Amino acid sequence: MATPAVYVAEDSDFSIYNLPYGVFETTSLDKRLGVAIGDYVLDLREAAHQGFLSSLDSQYFQQSDFNDIMQLDRKAWKLLRSDIQDVVYGKTSEWLKSNRGVLSKLFIPMHQVSMHLPAKIGDYTDFYSSKEHATNVGTIFRGPDNALNPNWVHLPVGYHGRSSSIVVSGQDIRRPCGQLKGNQDPYYGPSQALDFELEMAFFVGQGNSLFESIPVKAARDYIFGLVLMNDWSARDIQRWEYVPLGPFGAKNFATSISPWIVPLEALEPFQVPAPVQEPKVLDYLEQGSDRNTFDIHLSVSLQSTRMQKPQVICQSNFRYLYWTMEQQIAHHTVTGCNLRPGDLLASGTISGPDATSFGSMLELSWGGTKPLQLTETQEQRVYLQDGDQVTMHGYCQKENIRIGFGQCQGKILPAKPLAA
For residue 216, what pLDDT is reported? 98
Is 12 part of any domain?
no
CB 338 within 8 A of CB 207: yes
* pLDDT tens digits for range 87-145: 999 999 999 999 999 999 999 999 999 999 999 999 999 999 999 999 999 999 999 99
Q: What is the DSSP letter of 301?
A: E
Binding residue per annotation — 142?
yes
The range of the structural domain enclosing residue 111 comes to 21-116
Q: Max Cα separation, the chain?
A: 75
Mean pLDDT of 19-39: 98
Cβ atoms < 10 Å from Cβ of 209 = 10
Binding residue per annotation — 45?
no
Instruction: Give kind and range of the element (H or E) at residue 200.
Output: strand 198-204
CB 334 within 8 A of CB 116: no
Binding residue per annotation — 375?
no
Q: Among 249, 250, 246, 129, which Cα is nearest to 194's?
A: 250
Binding residue per annotation — 126?
yes
Mean pLDDT of 182-204: 97
- Among 87, 116, 145, the domain boundary falls at 116
Q: Are residues 108 and 234 in the same domain?
A: no
Instruction: Give kind and range of the element (H or E) at residue 397.
Output: strand 389-398
Question: 365 pLDDT exceeds 90?
Answer: yes
Distance CA 40, CA 143 (A): 50
For residue 366, what pLDDT is reported? 98
For residue 420, what pLDDT is reported? 61
Q: Are residues 108 and 198 in the same domain?
A: no
CA dist 167 → 198, 338, 349 (Å): 15, 24, 18
What pTM was estimated for this model as a whole?
A: 0.97
**How many Cα atoms within 13 Å fall on the side-chain side of residue 276?**
2
Mean pLDDT of 174-202: 97
* pLDDT tens digits for range 214-223: 999 999 999 9
Neighbour-count burial for 234-253, b at 16+ CB within 10 Å, e otherwise: bbbbbebbbeeeebebbbbb
Q: How far is CA 257 from its chain centroid?
A: 5
Q: Is 208 left (phi over 0), alpha (psi -120 to 50) or beta?
A: beta
Residues marked as catalytic: 133
Q: Are residues 393 and 258 in the same domain?
A: yes
Q: Are residues 128 and 112 in the same domain?
A: no
* pLDDT tens digits for range 140-163: 999 999 999 999 999 999 999 999
Number of domains in the chain: 2
For residue 418, what pLDDT is reported? 81
Binding residue per annotation — 197?
yes
Adjacent-strand bridge partners of 100: none
Is 8 part of any domain?
no
Binding residue per annotation — 206?
no
Binding residue per annotation — 238?
yes
For residue 295, what pLDDT is reported? 98
**Residue 47 maps to which CATH number?**
2.30.30.230
Question: 419 pLDDT exceeds 90?
Answer: no
For residue 417, what pLDDT is reported? 80
Identify the burial level of 29 via C-beta atoms within 10 angstroms of its C-beta, where 0-12 means exposed, 13-18 middle and 19 or more buried.
Answer: middle
**Residue 307 maps to which CATH number?**
3.90.850.10
Is 10 part of any domain?
no
